[in-house]
């Protein structure tokens, strides 16, 4: 079974409990999955452990502040969209925030409808970064055999017709697209797709491979594209 992971995950970093709870409540009503952390250290820790689709980041936090959190993430190459909550009394916050790598900001005390709209825009804008594979640059569509995967829309032509893949499925296919004919270890997939370098159990990887074979292989026991490399991982043959 592959979990359906299309529900966007949002990390709210805010030390003022009432604001954090109110935000979480309203974001959850929009069917987002929300997690709250009260300071910068915990924010960095969570982002290292898991992939979020968006971070709502308060600037004034105990310990390391929002600018520093944002700056560190960007220096580490983490491009998760960040919506900053800045203080009205500190107009320079906006400049610092954008310079430290935030994608957008909302001034506190914020208007809830405006914040929700900005969240929506950032989530929609989020695209697969990195190189575009395939010839059709606009759609980022990558073809192999009788099938294709569109890394922009997550749509794919599968044995059951055109349908949307899960986020993990798309991420694994992207790695295959970038490294055709190369052996890719389960560990590599855990690091790049799941952000779990020390995960003791590679079954999550195997589950996604099973799903991808169902989508793209006529005969999962004699795969044409997604080959197993015994004891190591997989090799994708376009």
Binding site for Ca ion (CB under 5 A): 15, 58, 60
- Beta carbon nearer to Ca ion, 34 or 84: 84
Which lies closer to Ca ion via its Cβ, residue 15 or residue 206?
15
Q: Which is nearer to Ca ion, 108 or 157 (CB)?
A: 108
The whole-angstrom separation of Cα 195 and Cα 114 is 32
**Backbone torsions φ then ψ of 69, nearest 5 degrees:** -60, -50
Minimum distance from residue 39 beta carbon to Ca ion (Å): 9
Strands (E), 159-231: 161-164, 183-185, 226-229
Q: How far apart are CA 199 and CA 145, in angstroms?
A: 33
Task: Tell me the C-alpha distance between 236 and 70, whole Å.
Answer: 36
Contact 80, 53 (CB under 8 A): yes
Residue with the closest Cβ to Ca ion? 60
Residues 6+ apart with CB under 8 A from 213: 220, 223, 226
CB of 34 to Ca ion, least distance (A): 17
Least distance to Ca ion, CB of residue 142, Å? 43
Q: How far is the CB of 93 from Ca ion (least distance, A)?
A: 12
Instruction: Name which of 80, 191, 189 is nearest 127 in CA terms.
Output: 80
Closest residue by Cα to residue 107 from 120, 121, 117, 93: 93
Nearer to Ca ion, 23 or 215 (CB): 23
Please identify, using beta-carbon distances, which residue of 60 and 187 lies nearer to Ca ion. 60
Q: How far is the CB of 66 from Ca ion (least distance, A)?
A: 8
């Amino acid at each position: 079974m592959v979990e359906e992971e299309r529900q966007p995950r949002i990390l709210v970093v805010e030390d003022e409990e009432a604001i954090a709870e109110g935000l979480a409540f309203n974001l959850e009503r929009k069917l987002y999955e929300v997690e709250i952390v009260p300071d910068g250290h915990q924010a960095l820790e969570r982002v290292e452990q898991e992939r979020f689709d968006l971070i709502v980041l308060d600037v004034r936090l105990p310990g390391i502040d929002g600018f520093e959190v944002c700056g560190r993430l960007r220096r580490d190459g983490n491009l998760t969209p960040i919506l900053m909550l800045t203080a009205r009394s500190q107009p320079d916050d906006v400049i610092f925030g954008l310079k430290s790598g935030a994608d957008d900001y909302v001034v506190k005390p914020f208007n809830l409808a405006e914040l929700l709209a900005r969240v929506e825009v950032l989530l929609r804008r989020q695209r697969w970064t990195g190189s575009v594979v395939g010839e059709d640059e606009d759609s980022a569509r990558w073809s192999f055999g009788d099938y294709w995967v569109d890394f922009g829309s997550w749509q794919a032509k599968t044995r059951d017709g055109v349908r949307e893949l899960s986020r993990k499925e798309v991420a694994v296919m992207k790695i295959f697209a970038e490294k055709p004919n190369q052996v890719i270890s389960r560990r590599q997939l855990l690091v790049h797709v799941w952000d779990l370098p020390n995960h003791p159990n590679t079954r999550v990887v195997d589950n996604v491979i099973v799903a991808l074979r169902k989508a793209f292989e006529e005969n999962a026991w004699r795969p044409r594209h997604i080959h197993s490399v015994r004891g190591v991982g997989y090799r994708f043959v376009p």
